[in-house]
Amino acid sequence: MKLLAPLSSSSSSSSSSSALKKPHRQLSQYLFSLLAFIVFVTILYSEDFLCIFRQQQQQQQLKLESADSDRVLSRPGEAEIVWDKKEVNIVEEKEEEKWKIPFAVGESEESCDIFSGRWVWDESRPLYEESDCSYIQSQLTCMEHGRPDKNFRNWRWQPHRCQLPKFNASLVLESLRGKRMMFVGDSLNRGQFQSMVCLVQSLIPPHAKSMQTFGSLIVFTAKEYNATIEFYWAPFLLESNTDNAIVHKFNERIVRKGSINKHGNHWKNTDILVFNTYLWWMTGYKMNISRKPFDDKIKDIIELSTDDAYRMAMKSMLRWVRRNMDPKKTRVFFTSMSPIHDKSIGWGGKAGGNCYNETKIIEDPNYWGSDRRSILKVSGDVLSKSKYPITFLNITQLSSYRKDAHTSIYKKQWNPLTPHQLANPISYADCVHWCLPGLQDTWNELLFAKLFYPSSASS
Ligand SMILES: *[C@@H]1O[C@H](CO)[C@@H](O)[C@H](O)[C@H]1NC(C)=O
Ligand SMILES: *[C@@H]1O[C@H](CO)[C@@H](O)[C@H](O)[C@H]1NC(C)=O
Ligand SMILES: *[C@@H]1O[C@H](CO)[C@@H](O)[C@H](O)[C@H]1NC(C)=O
Ligand SMILES: *[C@@H]1O[C@H](CO)[C@@H](O)[C@H](O)[C@H]1NC(C)=O
Ligand SMILES: *[C@@H]1O[C@H](CO)[C@@H](O)[C@H](O)[C@H]1NC(C)=O
């Protein structure tokens, strides 16, 4: 089943058009026209009824899904289109209605899984210099903060069965003319957003670009293209008590069920949406979920397993996308979990170590660290049942080989380091985030590949 299957026009419209052409001998020309007009109006209205009927069906389905029913309501990968009355052709052609996948300029080979591959050394990298991109936040500028080794910037991802298309910044900007690309999620997605900005910004002269922050939203504007690349902070996607983009160091995290519109209202009218969510769910094996608004006097908080809570959020996201996005206009991506490297025994290192002082990639293709496999499975499962075509950016495995690519101690520290910490760098190394330029440029090369060369099988 192709993800974006062409629509066949409704059979009622073609049979009705032949009815229109049938002459009635008994009637005068005038009466015939009148009758034809009535028939025409009837058909119009019946199309309306069809439309309403379809919408009702759809709403019913949504209701079923909101009840968090685990029943599969659609076949995997099936695209659902809300019919637009204007597109129902009353003229007699029976031609299948086709629509182009937005942003596609070509198709990839269906047999090629670009997320399955290996890292190869490439002298021509990095794709840009840290010092040439002023849009990287100081938590990710490793060179500026004294990182001594540079090799981590030279690895290129090589899929086993095909070549990745070369990242073309000009194509990205041209395609974004008059459009908005938005990343939504946590600090990992913010890193990917900054990487994307860095990958395209050198083509824009200084006076024609800017970056501004509006609360939870960061907007990079390419003025001459009337294009924006944006980041919206929503670490759980749903509303939570940790939503402040700056002050969010709460230990007792609570997520509110069914609250996606709170943030979702800021994601509308975008043309490319890239979601992620993972790290903030990792508080343990359980998560507190509020079934009432946070300001409600009566508290109704339940503990769910992390997997169930995460599944709930994924489903909320899908539902939001289906209700608010048009697959003929907007491409939606979901970036899988970003792995951490906090236990070096996992890759045969010394006990007690982490990513600190790691300068080599992991060569074992079967390596998997301490990350929760079940979460990757939940996101894969939920997305494979999506009716809206959402492209899964499965970056987890390929990133797990990159213990060398984290910011480690080479970043701006929020708080001054204590002598005790300084004496033991492992204790404060950041093995979650990634240096830029670096690994996350590859995530964007994969995004680029999927955006412009989608395979109809996996979109
Ligand atoms: C990059 O994209 C631009 C704009 O679409 C196109 O003119 C150019 O040929 C592309 N460059 C390469 C190397 O494909
Ligand atoms: C600029 O882009 C926005 C969408 O991001 C669009 O609504 C607006 O009409 C565009 N303006 C011009 C002058 O093209
Ligand atoms: C949920 O909240 C209760 C009450 O505040 C707390 O005792 C418990 O540790 C919390 N559970 C999680 C998983 O955060
Ligand atoms: C860092 O690694 C190198 C070799 O890879 C080793 O010689 C050095 O002692 C390590 N430094 C620390 C502080 O662990
Ligand atoms: C993600 O990619 C890895 C490596 O190719 C694969 O083993 C895994 O099954 C994929 N996961 C999902 C959910 O597609």
- Would you name the residues annotated as active-site residues? 187, 430, 433
- Ligand that comes closest to the CA of residue 352: 4
Mean pLDDT of the chain: 82
How far is ligand 1, taken at its centre, from the CA of residue 177, in Å? 15
Whether residue 23 has pLDDT greater than 70: no
Q: Is the CB of 284 under 6 A from ligand 3?
A: yes
Which residue has the CA at smallest separation from atom 3 of ligand 5?
397
Which residue has the CA at smallest separation from atom 9 of ligand 5?
377
Residue from 224, 226, 269 whose mutation best tests the ligand 2 pocket (most atoms within 8 A of CB) = 226
Residue type, 288: N
Phi, psi of 180 (to 5 degrees): -125, 130
Whether residue 58 has pLDDT greater than 50: no
Whether residue 330 has pLDDT greater than 50: yes
Q: Which helix (H) or strand (E) holds 12?
A: helix 11-21
Q: How confident is the model at residue 90, as a pLDDT?
A: 41
Cβ-count burial 146-179 (b if 16+ within 10 Å, e if not): ebeeeebbebbbebeebebbebebebbbebbeeb
Query: What three-state secondary structure class fits 407?
Result: strand
Residue from 168, 202, 225 whose mutation best tests the ligand 1 pocket (most atoms within 8 A of CB) = 168
Q: E-assigned strands of 25-139?
A: 117-121
- For CA atoms 400, 255, 258, 82, give the dihedral sign: negative
Whether residue 402 has pLDDT greater than 60: yes
How far is ligand 4, taken at its centre, from the CA of residue 358, in Å? 8
Q: How confident is the model at residue 169, as a pLDDT?
A: 98
Residue from 241, 242, 252 whose mutation best tests the ligand 3 pocket (most atoms within 8 A of CB) = 252
Which residue has the CA at smallest separation from atom 11 of ligand 3?
288
Q: How confident is the model at residue 391, as a pLDDT?
A: 96
Q: What atom of ligand 2 comes closest to residue 178's alpha carbon?
A: 2
Q: How confident is the model at residue 456, as a pLDDT?
A: 59
The band of 127, judged by pLDDT with boundaries at 50, 70 and 90, is very high
| 332, 275 Cβ separation under 8 angstroms | yes
What is the tens place of the pLDDT at every residue in 77-91? 333 333 333 334 444
- Ligand that comes closest to the CA of residue 181: 2
Residue ranges lining ligand 1, Cβ < 6 Å? 168, 170-171, 174
| 387, 5 Cβ separation under 8 angstroms | no
Q: What atom of ligand 3 comes closest to residue 286's alpha carbon?
A: 13
| 12, 51 Cβ separation under 8 angstroms | no
| 106, 453 Cβ separation under 8 angstroms | yes
The band of 357, judged by pLDDT with boundaries at 50, 70 and 90, is very high
Tell the residue number behind the tokens 């101690």, with chain if given: 409
Instruction: For residue 47, give the nearest of 81, 18, 73, 11 by alpha carbon.
Output: 11
Whether residue 293 has pLDDT greater than 60: yes
How far is ligand 5, taken at its centre, from the CA of residue 395, in Å? 8
The band of 47, judged by pLDDT with boundaries at 50, 70 and 90, is very low
Percent of all residues in the chain with a pLDDT value above 90, rounded to a whole number: 68
What is the tens place of the pLDDT at every residue in 233-292? 999 999 998 887 666 555 678 999 989 999 999 999 999 999 999 999 988 889 999 998
How far is ligand 5, taken at its centre, from the CA of residue 10, in Å? 38
Whether residue 113 has pLDDT greater than 90: yes
Percent of all residues in the chain with a pLDDT value above 70, rounded to a whole number: 76
Q: How confident is the model at residue 247, as a pLDDT?
A: 65
Residue type, 177: R
pTM for the predicted model, two decimal places: 0.80
Cα distances from 164 to residues 108, 112, 202, 256, 436, in angstroms, run 9, 10, 22, 40, 20
50-54, 66-70, 196-200, 307-311: segment of lowest average pLDDT: 66-70
Q: How confident is the model at residue 245, as a pLDDT?
A: 62
The band of 305, judged by pLDDT with boundaries at 50, 70 and 90, is very high
Q: Is the CB of 397 under 6 A from ligand 5?
A: yes
